[in-house]
Structure 1
Amino acid sequence: MEQINIHKAKTQLSRLISEGKEVVIARYGQPVAKLVPIKHLSQDRKPGTGKGKIRMTDTFFDPLPDFASHTIIEK
């Protein structure tokens, strides 16, 4: 893993990002930060893949017992 100083990291940030390597950024020779690439998902998410895996009961939208006494009644 390469270690570079803050000034070099600021002036070459675009290049460092495009290389996609881990880089330790140091101030006065002491490591203060690490630049790491984001790991991408192995495959794109597809809509609808969770269909049928979640089930809600009929009482899902009923008020919780703590709030039952605070219901607003319109006149």
Structure 2
Amino acid sequence: MEAARQYSVPEAKAHLSRTLEQVATGEEMAISRSGEPVAKTVPLHTRAKRTERGSLRGQIHTRKDFDGLPDDLADAFGMLS
């Protein structure tokens, strides 16, 4: 894995918008004080984009011998009365 780019505090402040854009595209950035790394920025995982209803039609299959959940598992999910 590639090492994170390292910026000094003044560099990070001066180019915050640009460095955040780089982080948003997947890069990591380290911020250093007196040459020693003190912080690291990493991209956040984005929320899954919702798709249209039925977009997985034909891609998900249930085995013909699937009968349901075992009683203990169904009970754990509150499915048994």
**Shorter-normalised TM-score: what interval?**
0.5 to 0.7
TM norm structure 1: 0.53
Match of 1:8 in 2: 11
Q: Where do 5+ consecutive residues of structure 1 fail to align?
A: 47-53, 56-75
Runs of 4+ in 1 over 3 A off after TM superposition: none
The correspondence for 2:36, drawn from 18, 24, 30, is 30
Q: Deviations over 1:7-59 (max 9, x none)?
A: 00001010001112201100001111011111113x2358xxxxxxx76xxxx
Pairwise mapping of residues 47-62 of structure 1 onto structure 2 (< 5 A)? none
For 1:37 and 1:13, the matched residues in 2 are separated by 14
TM norm structure 2: 0.50
Give the fraction of aligned pairs with identical amino acids, expressed as a percent.
36
Structure whose alpha-carbon radius of gyration is higher: 1
Match of 2:55 in 1: none
